[in-house]
């Protein structure tokens, strides 16, 4: 499948109907989701026939993209039942099979623990930790501990040095695949502008 074709299919993915700021719910655009998954698949061979997990799966766009690209198994994890309900509806529309697990990934013990060593690849657009300080790093560490092959994640470019240092501590290779613009539309009451672009890094954490 071509990148443009994947992006065009993903445009039909429904987003949060009632986004919750406490969970930093910002949907990944079809443009970014397509590029993330297409790169993970075509450049690194981390998607097709692989068991893929999606941490903070929201409305499911990353999992759906993985499914379309031929992942062997897909599972998404999110704290919000409303988001999981939308994700399930999206999967029905797209005729894609994804398991969804409702869990608080920041808790010391959570449903992700059962998947340790059973997922090849984890993809995620986690909360950036602006409302819930440090949650981005908690989810990232868990992802790195869980995946057998690789973790793909989006993080604010301003946190790059910190993340590179942490990756070294955790003994994984971190590659900045691309610098991207994350378009945040006017979604919440406190938003003053029609949309704002945030500089984000698309990162790959590889395990050897």
Ligand X SMILES: C[S@@+](CC[C@H](N)C(=O)[O-])C[C@H]1O[C@@H](n2cnc3c(N)ncnc32)[C@H](O)[C@@H]1O
Work out whether 37 is an interface residue with ligand X (CB under 6 A): no
Work out whether 62 is an interface residue with ligand X (CB under 6 A): yes
Identity of the residue, 106 or 157, whose beta carbon is nearer to ligand X in the bound complex:
106
Contact 63, 99 (CB under 8 A): no
Exactly one of 40, 52, 57, 174 binds ligand X (CB under 6 A); that residue is 57
CA 190, 81, 79: angle at the middle one, nearest 5?
75
Work out whether 53 is an interface residue with ligand X (CB under 6 A): no
Work out whether 127 is an interface residue with ligand X (CB under 6 A): yes
Centre a 10 Å sphere on the Cβ of residue 145 and count the other Cβ atoms it contains.
Answer: 15
Work out whether 26 is an interface residue with ligand X (CB under 6 A): yes
Work out whether 146 is an interface residue with ligand X (CB under 6 A): no
Identity of the residue, 47 or 105, whose beta carbon is nearer to ligand X in the bound complex:
105
The edge-to-edge listing of strands for the beta sheet with 195-206 is 99-102, 73-78, 51-55, 119-124, 147-156, 195-206, 173-185
Contact 40, 8 (CB under 8 A): no
Q: Alpha carbon of 116 to those of 27, 41, 68, 186: distances in Å?
A: 26, 22, 24, 37
Work out whether 100 is an interface residue with ligand X (CB under 6 A): no
Work out whether 24 is an interface residue with ligand X (CB under 6 A): yes
Footprint of ligand X (CB under 6 A): 23-28, 56-59, 61-62, 77-80, 83, 104-106, 125-127, 135
């Amino acid at each position: 499948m071509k990148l443009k074709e994947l992006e065009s299919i993903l445009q039909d993915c429904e987003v949060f109907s009632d986004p919750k700021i406490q969970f930093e719910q910002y949907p990944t655009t079809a443009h970014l989701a397509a590029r993330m998954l297409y790169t993970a698949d075509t450049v690194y061979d981390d998607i097709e026939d692989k068991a893929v997990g999606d941490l903070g799966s929201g409305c499911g766009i990353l999992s759906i993209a993985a499914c379309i690209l031929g992942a062997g198994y897909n599972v998404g994890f999110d704290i919000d039942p409303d988001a999981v309900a939308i994700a399930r509806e999206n999967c029905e529309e797209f005729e894609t099979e994804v398991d969804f697990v409702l869990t608080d990934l920041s808790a010391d013990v959570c449903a992700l623990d059962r998947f340790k060593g059973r997922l090849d690849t984890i993809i995620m657009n986690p909360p950036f930790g602006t409302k819930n300080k440090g949650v981005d790093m908690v989810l990232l560490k868990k992802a790195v501990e869980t995946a057998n092959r690789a973790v793909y994640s989006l993080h604010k470019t301003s946190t790059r040095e910190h993340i590179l240092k942490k990756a070294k501590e955790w003994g994984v290779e971190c590659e900045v695949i691309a610098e991207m613009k994350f378009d945040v539309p006017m979604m919440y009451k406190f938003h003053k502008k029609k949309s704002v672009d945030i500089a984000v890094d698309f990162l790959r954490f590889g395990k050897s």
